[in-house]
Structure 1
Amino acid sequence: MNSHLIAVAEVAQQFGARIGIGRAARLAGLLHDLGKYTPQFQARLSGAQERVDHSTAGAAIVVQLARAVKADDRIVAELIAYCIAGHHAGLPDKQGETFSTLSERLNGFSAAGLDPIWKSEIAPEVADLLPSFPNWEKTDRTRAAFQLGFLGRMIFSCLVDADFKDTEQFYACTEGRQIGRTWPELQSVLPSLIKAFDTHMGQKRKSDTPVNVLRANILDHVRSRASEKPGLFTLTVPTGGGKTLASLGFALEHARAHGLGRLIYAIPFTSIIDQTAAIFREILGNDVVLEHHSAIEDEERRPREPRDADSTKADRDKLKLAMEDWAAPIVVTTNVQLFESLFAARTSRCRKLHNIANSVIILDEAQTLPRPLLIPAVWALRELAENYNCSIVLCTATQPALDQRKFPARHPAGLPLEGRELAPDPDDMAKRLERVRLEHGGVMDDMALLAEFSKTDQGLVIVNSRKHALALYRQAKEAGLDGLVHLTTRQYAAHRREILAAVRQRLMNGEPCRVIATSLVEAGVDLDFPKVLRAEAGLDQIAQAAGRCNREGRRPVEDSIVIVFEAPENPPPPEIAGLSGDMARMMARHEKLLSPAAIEDFFGEVYWRIGPEGLDRGRNDRLPIVDKFRIGSGGVTNFSYRSVAENFRMIESGMVPVIVARDEQAKAAIAKLRIETIPSGAIARDLQTYVVQVPPKARARLIACGHVKFADERLRADQFAVLMTLGLYDPEVGLVWEDAEYLSQEAIVI
C-alpha cells in the first residue's frame, strides 16, 4: 500500500518543486489514499462488494495534523484536504448544497478503522507548506483568498497527474497498456526550433512587398524585446501585420532567455486552431507541437464517479478517460480549454495546470475574452504571471483596454501593462497598414445583400448566426451566383481546412469566389478579398472582418471596401447588439474607426457601460466568481471549487460534440476505441478535427433517432458521439441536424 503513496508523493513533489510547492504536493501524495489502510478496503480488494470511501481519511487526517502547526501551514493543509477529498470525483465545495461538500465529509469521518501502521510507513511532515511566492496579496482579502484558491488547484494538479502517471505505469507493466506520448523538454530542443524558425522567416523575407517588409520589421523589433523580465505583455499589431509569427518568434527567444519550459498558444475559436497548429508544425516539426481542442473533452456529461470507486475499476477508468497533461514543448489550444481548466474542479481538466506554470502564454485575439468572465480571467492571468513564472502576451489587432491606467483606481479588471507593449509604435503601424475603406450600408435585407454581393466576382459576407448564414447561402444558390462557398462551424475543422485551401486557390487564380460565413472567418483565417460585407457588430469584430479585405495591400485603399450593414430580419444577439451601440458612439468621436485610439475608446465604453458587476457574472449564479473564495477568522477557508467550475463557462450555449467520420483517418481512429489499452486522450487527439459542435437538444434528438451513437460506450462512456447517418452531413453546408427526424434509417452507413 505504502509503495503507491510514496511513488505518487515523489512524482507530485517533482512537479510541485518547479513552482515552489513541492512540500505541499508531496504531503498530498502521501495521504491521498490513506483510507486504504482499513480492513474494509482490504476486503474490497479480495472481492467484497461494499463500496469504500478511501479519500476522506487523508483529507481529515491532514487537517488534524495541522492543528499543532502555524497558521500559514494550517491554511495550506486545508487546501490539501480539498485536493485529497477530490482526487477521484473532483474538487469539492467547502459548504453549501452541492454534491458531497468537504465539511460534510470531514464531520462524518472517524479514524477508528485506520490501521495506525500508516504513521510509521509514510511519516508525513506538516511544516513549511506555504510557498514563498513574491506577490502574496497583503491588503485585499478577496484577492488573497483567490490566490490561495489558485494555489489549491495547483497542488491538486500535481497530485492527480502524479497519481495518474503512477497508475499508468503500473498497468503498462501488468497489462501491456500504452503509455501516453512522451515529449522532449523545451530547453533541450530550443536551439533547433529557433534555427528552424530563422530558416522559415529567411524564406519569407525574399518577398519584398511593403506589407512583408513591415512584417519583418515588426518581427525584428518584437524579438529584440525577448530579454525583458517575464510577466505581462501586450502585442498590438494590425490584422495582417504578422502577429502570429511575431509572437512565436518572441516566445522562442523569451523562453531561451529565461529558461521557461513551455509555449502555450491559446486561440479563441476551434475553427482556426488546426490552421495555427499546422503553421507551427510546418516551421518547427511534428514532434514538438500538441494541438488540443476542447471539443471531445466533455466532463460534465460523463457519469459522475462515486466519491470513491474501488481501486481497480477507478484506476482503469482513469486511464481510459484521461485527456491531455500538456507536457508537450508547444501547446496550441483554445481559450475555452485554457481558462476553463484554470477554474475547473474535475481531475482530467486540472491535471495539466502545473504544466502551465513556467510557460510563455500567447493569448491570440485577446479582445475575445468574454466580458461576463473578464475579472476572474484577468485575475488568473495576473496570478500566473506574478507567482507562477509565466509570461503572458495579450496579442491582438484590437487591444482591449485592460491597462490599469485606463480604469478607476483599483478597478478589478486592470492589469499593470505600462511599458510592456512589444510592438513598435502601434499608431504608426495602423496608419501604414491602412488598407480598406469603411462604408455604412444601412438596412439591408437578404435580397439587398445578394444584389450587392452580385456586383463583385470575389467577396465575403459575414453574418452573426449559423442560421442566417445557411439561409443566405441557400438563397444565393437559388439566385445562381457563381463561385459560392459556405463556411460555418457546421463543418468539421478538417473539412473547413479543405474548403479554405480551395478558396485561397480561387482567389489567387482570379476565379469567381463568393464566401458566406459566420464570424469564425474573422480571426486568424488568412484570406484576402477585395470586398467584405459585415453584419453590424462591435468595433473589434468589424476590425477583424476588415482584416480579410486587401490583406496583402496589393489593391488601392479606395477599391477595398468593407460595408457594415443592419439585418433587421436577422437581428444580432443581445450581446452583439449592445456592442453595436458602443460602436455607433465611436463613429461620432473618431474619423478613423480602425485606429488604436478608436479601439481603445470602444473597449473603455464597453467596460464603462457594463460596469464591474457585469465583468464577473457566472453562468447560473449571480454571485461574482472571485467572491466564491473566502477566508474567515482563524484562517478557515470557504472555497467553492465545484460551484465555480460549473459557473465559469466561456461558451454559455453549452454545445456538445458530434464526430463526423467521412474519411479513412477518422474511421481508423474510431476503430481504436474498442482497444482498451489505448488511452482516450490519444484517440481524441486524432479525432478532434472531425468534430461538429451542436446544441445539446439537437444531439439528444439525433441519438433518439439513431443517427448518432456513443462509440464503444462500455469502454469510453459518453466521450465519443459519432454520426452514424452520414447523409445528414452536406458537403456544401456541413451537419444539418434539423433534418434528423425526416431522414430515413436506410441512410445509416457506418
Structure 2
Amino acid sequence: MWAHSPSKVTGRWHSLADHVRSTSRLARRFADVFGAGDLAAALGLVHDAGKAACAWQNKLVVVSATGDRVDINHKNLGAVLVRDRALAAAMAVLGHHGGLKHVQDLAGLSFKPDDGNTLKRFFDEVPEARALAEGPSLLPEAWGESMLLGEMGIRLVFSALVDADHLDTGAHADGLAQPRVAPPADMAKLVRRFEANRAVLLRGRGGSDVDDVRAALYDDVVRRASGEPGVYRLPAPTGSGKTMTAAGFALHHAARHGKARVVVAVPFTTITEQNAGVYRRLLGADMVLEHHSNAELDERRLRLAAENWDAPFVVTTTVQLFDSLFGRKPARSRKLHRLANAVVVLDEVQALPVPLLVPILDALRVLSRHFGTTVLLASATQPSFEHLAVWKSLDIQPLVDDPVELFARLKRVRYEWQLDPQPTLDDIAAQICDERQALAIVNTVAHARTLYRLVAQRRPGAEVVHLSTRMCPRHRERTLTRIRRLLKGKKPVLVVSTQLVEAGVDLDFPVVFRALAPAESLQQAAGRANREGKLPDKGRVVVFDAEDAPVPEFYRAGVGKTRGLFGEGRDPDDPVALEEYYRRLYTGLNVDEARRGAVIQANREELDFRAVADGPHVAGVGSARDRKLAFRMIDEDPVTVIVTTWGKQGHAAGLLSELRAEERSAGALLRELRGYMVPLPRSVASSAQVRALCRPVVAGHDELWEWCGDYDAQVGLDEGEIAKETVW
C-alpha cells in the first residue's frame, strides 16, 4: 500500500506504513518540546489513514504516470478515528493539506459505508493504530485551562504534524533514507563563538564615550540572562548597541535554560537584512537563517530551513512571524512549533500594529506561560503594554534598572520645533540645503518625492539622495551603500527618505529633519543624528509640520497625543513622558476593546481558525468574508511589480523571459527576481493609470506584474499622484 508515487530520484514507491510511522515519530519529537508528544504521534499515525481505500490506491497508480493529483478525500477517516481522544486537535488531521477551519467541521464527520473496509486495510498495514480509537484524552490536561490556551496548543500540534508530514514526503521525493532534521543546536558553543567574534569586532572600533556606555549596558544585560524564562524588556536608546545586546542576552539565556533557538523579529526588511549581516559576522553564516520576502535562499537546505525555521538563530520580520502565528495554512504553520522552548526577540516593538495588539500580546502571553517561550521586547520607545488588560497579570522583567539615567547618558541630540507658524516643504528644502550633511524623513512616498526634487533643484550637481520602497531592493541597497560611503568619507550628502530608515538602520548625520509624526517615530528618527556621539555639540533634530504635507489620517491619533505632551523643552526621548504618551494613546484608542482585536479573540475562543485568518462571514452575502476583521499585519495585500529597466542591462528582463517560457523552476527564478520587485498597495495597483503601465507576468495571475512605465534612477517607480498617503 502506497502513500506517494515513485521518487524521481530512486524510482521507489513510498510505503503508506513507512510514511505514517515516520510522520508519527517526527511529530512526537517536535511536540515533546511542549508536552504534546503522545497527541502529535497519534495524529501523525492516522493522518493518511484514508489513503488505504481501494479507490485511492487505484487512482494513485493511474496518476503516478501523469503527475495529476489523486483528488479523493483521505483526511476525514483519520480525523474521525481519533476524534474522541484528540478532541478538537483532530482538526489538525482534517486540515493537514487545506488548513485549519472551524471546530464545527469535526462534529459533522461520520464513518462512511466503505470506511470499515478501509480501516481494516489500514490496520492490517499499521496494526498499532488500532489502539488509538479508544482510551483517555490525548490532549495535555493544562490545555483545558482556557480556550485561548487550547487554541494555541492546536496551532502548535498542527504545526508539528504538517512539518513532519512535509519532511518525510520531501525525503522520499529526494531519495533520502531519512528526513532532513538539523541536530539540536549547541547554544553554549554559539555563545562562545558570539563573544569571541564580538571582542574582535569591538577591538577594531577604536572606542569612544558612547562605546563605553554600550559595553557597560551589554555586560549588565547579559548578566541578567540567567533569570527565569518569561517576558523581558530592554529599553535601550537608539545607538546604544541594542542589536548586539539583545542577541547577547538571547543567546546566553538560551544556553542557560536549554532553549532550542533564538528568533529575532523586526518590523522592516531593511533592518532584517542589516541585522542578519551583523549576526552572521558574529555567529557564522551557517548558523543564521534570514527569512523574509527579500531573502535570496539559493541552497535547498536554506529553503527548507526557511519553511520550518530549523536553525539555531532565525532573523525574520514581525509580518512573517505573526501572520504565520495566526494563519491557518500548512505552509505558514510549519514553523510554529519552533517557537516553543525558544527565545523570541521583538526588535522595535513599538511598530506592532495597534489594532492587533490584543491578539498579539495574548499569544505571546500564552507562549511564555505555557510553551516555554521567553520573549524579549527591545526598543528605544518601549510601549506600556502593561496598561492593557491582556498583559496586566504578566510580570515583565526590566533589563535596565534606571532607563531615565541611561537615556540621559546617551542623549546626543537637541530638538527644534517648527510647528507654528507652519513652514512649507520648500522652506524645509532651503534649510536642508544650508547643511553639508543632512537627513530628512517625511511621512509619505509622495512627500519624499516632492521634497527630494525641491532639494535637488536648489542644489544641482550636489549629492542629493532619495530613499523609499518605490525603489527595488537592490536599488535601495546600492543607495544605502553609497550614503554610508559618503558619510564615512565625510563628504557632503543630503538624503530625503520615508520612514524606512527610521528604525535600526545604521546611519549617522549631524542633523535630521523629521516631519511631525507620533512620538515613537520622532525618537527613532533622532537615532540617526549624532549616533556615535562624536560631535562637539549635540546633533540637531528639527521637527516640522509643513502646511503642504499634511499628517496622514492613520497618524493623527498619535500626533494629537504627541502635540499634547512634547514640544519646546519636552523631548520625546524622555522614558517617563513616553510611558504617559502610550497610556494616553491606548486609552484614547480604546485598544482593550477595539472591535477588530475583540472579533479575532472571539473567533480564537470559538476555534474558528478560518475566521481569524480570513475574516468572519459577512451576514447575508453568501461565502463572503470581512477581511477588515481578519488578522493581517498588512491591511492591504500588496501587488508586486517587477522592474526590468534598472540594474545590470537586461538581467531582470532575461529572468522574466525564462519565467514566462517556463525554462527553469519558477521558484528559483522568482528568488532571483526579488531584488527587482516593488510592492504596490492594492489601491494603487488597481487604478487604471497604473494598470495601463503594467502587464501580467503570467496570464490570469493578478498578484505579479511587469512594470512597463518609467523607472527613475533617483526615486524609482513613480506612480504620480495616485498614492499620496502611502507611507513607505
> 1:39-438, aligned counterparts within 5 Å?
39-47=54-62, 51-63=71-83, 66=84, 73=85, 76-80=86-90, 82-95=91-104, 101-103=105-107, 111=115, 114-122=118-126, 123-124=128-129, 125=132, 127=136, 129-131=138-140, 133=142, 138=145, 144-173=146-175, 183=182, 185-187=184-186, 190-192=188-190, 194-205=192-203, 207-294=206-293, 324-403=307-386, 406=387, 411-414=389-392, 416-418=394-396, 420-438=397-415
- Contact persistence 2:221–2:249 (CA under 8 A): yes
Does structure 1 conserve the Cα–Cα contact (< 8 Å) formed by 2:307 and 2:335? yes
* Counterparts of 2:111 and 2:121, CA distance in 1: 23
Deviation for aligned residue 1:553: 1.1
Compared with structure 1, are the counterparts of its residues 244 and 490 closer, same or farther at alpha carbon in structure 2 (3 Å cutoff)? Answer: same
Structure 1 stretch displaced more, 122-131 or 4-13: 122-131
Counterpart amino acid of 1:459? A
- 1:566 equivalenced with 2:552 (yes/no): no
In 1, the alpha carbon distance for the partners of 2:140 and 2:21 equals: 22
Higher relative contact order (CA 8 A, sep 6+): 1
Listed as ranges, the gaps of 5+ residues in structure 1 are: 67-72, 96-100, 139-143, 298-318, 631-637, 741-750
Name the SS of the counterpart of 1:173 in structure 2.
coil
Which amino acid in 2 is paired with 1:215? R
Cα distance, 1:552 vs structure 2: 1.1
Aligned to 1:23: 38
What runs of 5+ residues in structure 2 fail to find an aligned partner? 1-15, 64-68, 297-301, 615-629, 723-728
For 1:186 and 1:683, locate their aligned partners in 2 and report how far apart those are by CA, in whole Å.
32
**Relative to 1, partners in 2 of residues 1:108 and 1:458: Cα closer, same or farther, differing over 3 Å?**
farther
CA contact (8 A) 1:161 1:352 kept: yes
Structure-2 separation of matches of 1:192 and 1:533: 41
Aligned residue in 2 for 1:447: 426
Q: Distance in 2 between matches of 1:479 and 1:109?
A: 81
Equivalents in 2 of 1:604, 1:509: separation in Å?
Answer: 43
CA 1:697–1:610 in 2, change beyond 3 Å: closer, same or farther?
closer
Q: Cα offset for 1:338? A: 0.4
SS in 2 for 1:639: coil
Contact 2:77/2:111, CA 8 A, preserved across alignment? no
Query: Secondary structure in 2 aligned to 1:532?
Result: strand
Q: CA deviation at 1:51?
A: 3.5
Deviation of the 1:710 alpha carbon: 3.7
Aligned AA (1:502): R
Alpha-carbon distance change, 495 to 684 in structure 1, aligned in 2, over 3 angstroms: same
| 2:440 corresponds to 1:465 | no
Specify the code of the residue in structure 2 equivalent to 1:532. V
Structure 2 Cα separation of the partners of residues 596 and 494 of structure 1: 37
Change (3 A) 1:699 1:610: closer
Alignment partner of 2:465 out of 485, 498, 505: 485
SS at match of 1:283: helix
Q: Would the alpha carbon gap of residues 699 and 588 (structure 1) be closer, same or farther in structure 2, given more than 3 Å must change?
A: closer
CA contact (8 A) 2:25 2:41 kept: yes
Q: CA deviation at 1:447?
A: 1.4
Q: How many residues align?
A: 669
* Aligned mates of 2:70, 2:141 — CA distance in 1: 44
Which one-letter code corresponds to 1:23 in the other structure?
Answer: D
SS of 2:504's partner is coil
Aligned to 1:521: 501
**Aligned equivalents of 2:227 and 2:211: distance in 1?**
26
Q: CA deviation at 1:565?
A: 1.5
Deviating more after overlay: 486-495 vs 223-232: 486-495
The two structures have a TM-score, normalised by structure 1, of 0.81
The 1:109–1:273 alpha-carbon spacing in structure 2 relative to 1, beyond 3 Å, is farther
Indicate the RMSD between aligned Cα atoms, in angstroms.
3.5
Contact 1:180 1:682 in 2 (8 A): no
Q: d(CA) in 2 for partners of 1:387 and 1:611?
A: 28
Q: Distance between the aligned counterparts of 1:494 and 1:280, measured in 2?
A: 21
**Deviations 1:217-267 (Å, cap 9, x if unpaired)?**
111111111111111100011111111000111112111111211111100
Kept in 2: contact 1:534–1:545 (CA 8 A): yes
- Decide whether aligned partners of structure 1 residues 616 and 158 sit closer, same or farther in structure 2, where only a CA change above 3 A counts: farther
SS of 1:266 mapped into structure 2? strand
Aligned to 2:602: 627
Matches within 5 A, 1:572-651: 572-587=551-566, 591-613=570-592, 615=594, 617=596, 623-630=598-605, 638-646=606-614, 647-651=630-634
Residue 532 of structure 1, CA deviation: 1.2
Secondary structure of the 1:383 match is helix
The 8 Å contact of residues 320 and 678 in structure 1, kept in 2 or not, is answered as no
Matched-pair contact (CA < 8 Å) for 2:88–2:106: no
Shift in Å, 1:493: 2.9
How far apart are residue 659 of structure 1 and its match?
Answer: 4.4
The Cα shift of 1:615 comes to 4.8
CA drift of 1:323 comes to 6.0
Q: CA–CA distance in 2 between the matches of 1:666 and 1:196?
A: 38
Superposed displacement of residue 399, structure 1: 0.7
Contact 1:660–1:722 (8 Å) recurs in 2? no
Deviation at 1:427, TM superposition (A): 1.2
* Residues 665-707 of structure 1: per-residue CA shift (max 9 Å, x gap): 9789879979999987777666555432112355567996584
Partner of 1:503: 483
Counterpart pick for 1:533 among 513, 517, 527? 513
The CA distance in 1 between the partners of 2:243 and 2:484, in whole Å, is 19
Structure 1's 91 and 696: CA in aligned 2 closer, same or farther, altered over 3 A?
Answer: same
In 2, distance between residues paired with 1:380 and 1:371? 15
Deviation per CA, 1:54-82, whole angstroms, max 9, x where unpaired? 1122222222xx1xxxxxx5xx42222x1
CA displacement at 1:557 relative to structure 2: 4.4
Distance of 1:589 and 1:617 partners within structure 2: 37
Q: Distance in 1 between matches of 2:661 and 2:45?
A: 33
Q: Deviations over 1:308-349 (max 9, x none)?
A: xxxxxxxxxxx9999621111111100000011110101110
- CA change 1:54–1:44 in 2 (3 A) is same
Deviations 1:568-622 (A, max 9, x none): 433222221110011122138983431110111111111111124555615xxxx
Per-residue CA deviation, residues 416-463 of structure 1 (Å, 9 max, x unaligned), is 244x11135211111111111112101222212212212212111111
> For residue 696 of structure 1, what is the aligned residue in structure 2?
682
- Give the match's secondary structure for 1:226: helix
In the alignment, is the contact (CA less than 8 A) between 2:357 and 2:591 conserved in 1? no
Alpha-carbon distance in structure 1 between the residues aligned to 2:440 and 2:75: 56
1:659–1:690: 8 Å Cα contact kept in structure 2? yes
- Gap change, CA 1:457 and 1:91, over 3 Å in 2: same
